[in-house]
Amino acid sequence: MENALGEPQTIVLLGGTSDIGRAIVDELVSPVTRTIVLAARRPDAVEAGPLTAPERTVDVVAFDAADTASHAGFVQDLVARHGDLDVVVVAFGQLAEQDDLDDDPTAAAALVHVNYTGAVSVGLAVAAQFRRQGHGRLVVLSSVAGERVRKSNFVYGSSKAGLDGFAQGLGDALAGSGASVLVVRPGFVHSKMTAGLKAAPLATTPTKVAAATVAGLRRGRRTVWVPALLRPMFAVFRHLPGVVWRRLDL
């Protein structure tokens, strides 16, 4: 259970190797935090060290976003071992070059399955637990790439568009339950996932995304844009005629 300052006792990160996810956990941790779960497809790649403390349990566990049949049991096991879940961060995902996906429909489908279907599956499992316990906050890392899908990465963008819509609808469905959903829409973030890619305008960092996310949680926001200037920009982009949108080098 969170205290009056909104500080969680139990934090779960789904995507334990995500730079942004780890930055959010770092920002959320406080003296009242007793349990941190770092879940990843490859637990051996997770570095828990900086989060360890004598009064805190850091649990590194295996989690496969693509194995949707395991998600309900995964959440139930976490609750059995650690009790109520205060904040759950969905930070897993895949990114690939559109040119590569054009020639590999199987890889494209696999990416969408992880980014969208996997998040839907585990998101519903977490929401069911939140309803049972009467509280909880789900943080979903979306992207401005899903706000209006670009031709340069339309498979990835479409997966984020679906994820964003799901997260908004889930937040509406949880209204009145004591639980909530925060949708985070960053632009280009300098991270391991984007290493080697050309940075887009208004590029940001995991630390800045984390600060905005935690501020949004404490203010009870439903959505957070990082940086905030992207919100009015995409309000314009959404309404551009298709012939204009296709000509933009974004």
* Terminal-residue alpha carbon distance, the chain: 42
- Identify residue 146 by its one-letter amino acid code: G
116 carries an active-site annotation:
no
Asked whether the bond before 105 is cis by omega within 30 degrees of 0, the reply is: no
Packed helices 105-112 and 154-173: angle between N→C axes, nearest 10 degrees: 20
- Name 181's bridge partners: 138
Out of 63, 156, 166, 225, which one is annotated catalytic?
156
Is residue 144 within 8 Å of 186, Cβ to Cβ?
yes
- Distance in angstroms (rounded) separating the CA atoms of residues 226 and 228: 5
Residues assigned a catalytic role: 156
